[in-house]
Amino acid sequence: MKNILTAPFMVEMIRTATNMYDHGWDERNGGNISLMVDEDEVAKYLDLNSVLREIPTGFDASTLDGKYFLVTGTGKYFKNVQYAPEVNLGLIRVTDSGRTAQLLWGYADGGKFTSELPAHLMSHAARLAVDPENRVVMHCHPGNLLAMTYVHDLNEKAFTRTLWQMCTECIVVFPDGVNVLPWMLCGTNEIGIATAEKMGSARLVVWSQHGIYGAGKDLDETFGLIETAEKAAEIYMKIAHLPLLTTITDDQLWLLVDRFEVEPREGYLAPRQA
C-alpha cells in the first residue's frame, strides 16, 4: 500500500495549510480546513477496514454518511502541519448517520478533529446540494476582512458591492457575492447551522469580528476565493477614510460580467443601461 504522505491530496493539504499560515491568516491554532476525498483515492493508501478509534461528532450529518474527509485537528498550529502531519491532521469517515467519525489515520497524539467540524460538515452538505463538485471548506482569520466587519455595514449586498468595487477581478472570482453573519459563539452547532444556511447562496461567508468561511471544488480555488476577497478588503481599509473620487461603476461591472461570462448575484447590480 502506498505511503499516504505522498498522496496528492495530502501534499496539497500540507502545502495549503503552510501557505495560509505564511499569509498570516491562521495565527496560533486559528482556522481549520476539511477536504473531502473519494473512497477509491483513500483505498490506495489506507486499509478502509482498519479503524483506529471512533469520535462522536455531536450532530446529525446523515447526507454525508460514508464520506471521507481530511481534517485539521483541534488546538493544532498550522505552522506545524508540514513538520508533523500525522499529529496535526486526521482522515475520518463519517458514519452512524453522521453522528460518528471513524478515524482511519492521523491525530497520532490522541487528539481529534477541529471543534468547528459541525460547521464544516454542515457547510459541505449545503454546498454539495448546490454544487456536487464541492470538496473543500476552509476557515481562517484574514486581518483586513476581519477589520472591515468593525467599520462597514454588515448588510450582505452592501458588503459585497464594496468588495466588487475594490478590485476589477472580484466580481469575476466571486460573482455569487459574500454572505455575512453577525458575531456568534464559535465551535457550536448554532453557528454551524447559520453558516450552512448562508453557504446555500454563496461560497464565502464572513463571521463578523472573527474571520471567514470559504468553499470550493479544490484547495486552490477555495484559497483563491479568500485571497481575492482579502485583497479587496485590504484596499478598502486603506482608502475608507479618504474622499472617494472614483470607483468601478455598475456599468463597468456589467462589462466584466459579459466579458468573463459570469452570473452576478441577483439584484446586487443596478439594471443595465439601455
Q: What digits encode the pLDDT tens for the residues 150-209? A: 999 999 999 999 999 999 999 999 999 999 999 999 888 899 899 999 999 999 999 999
First to last CA, the chain: 63
* Domain covering 1-114: architecture: 3-Layer(aba) Sandwich (3.40)
| % pLDDT > 70, the chain | 100
Categorize the per-residue pLDDT at 120 as very low, low, confident or very high, splitting at 50, 70 and 90.
Answer: very high
Distances (CA, A) of 84 to 151, 180, 268: 39, 34, 45
Average pLDDT over every residue of 47-68: 90
> Would you say 36 and 135 are in contact if contact means Cβ atoms under 8 Å apart?
yes
Every domain of the chain and the residues it spans: 1-114, 116-274
CB atoms under 10 Å from CB of 53, counted, come to 11
Give the active site residue among 39, 41, 86, 116: 116
Which pLDDT value is given to residue 158?
98
Q: Is 156 a catalytic residue?
A: no
Buried (b) or exposed (e) across 125-164, using 16+ Cβ within 10 A? bbbbeeeeebbbbbbbbbbbbbbbbeebeeebeebbbbbb
- Is residue 274 scored above 80 in pLDDT? no
pLDDT above 80: residue 210: yes
What is the average pLDDT across 117-136? 94
Residue range 215-239: mean pLDDT, rounded = 98
* Shared fold status for 1-114 and 116-274: yes
pLDDT band, very low/low/confident/very high, at 62 (cuts 50, 70, 90): confident
pLDDT tops 80 at residue 74: yes
pLDDT band at 229 (very low <50, low <70, confident <90, very high): very high
Q: Collect all residues with Cβ–Cβ distance below 8 Å to 48 and sequence separation of at least 6.
A: 39, 42, 93, 104
Task: Give the pLDDT score at 173.
Answer: 98
Between strands 32-37 and 136-140, the pairing is antiparallel
Q: What is the mean pLDDT of the chain?
A: 95
Report whether pLDDT(116) > 90.
no
pTM over 0.85: yes
Mean pLDDT (whole number) for 51-74: 91
For domain 116-274, give the fold.
L-fuculose-1-phosphate Aldolase (3.40.225)
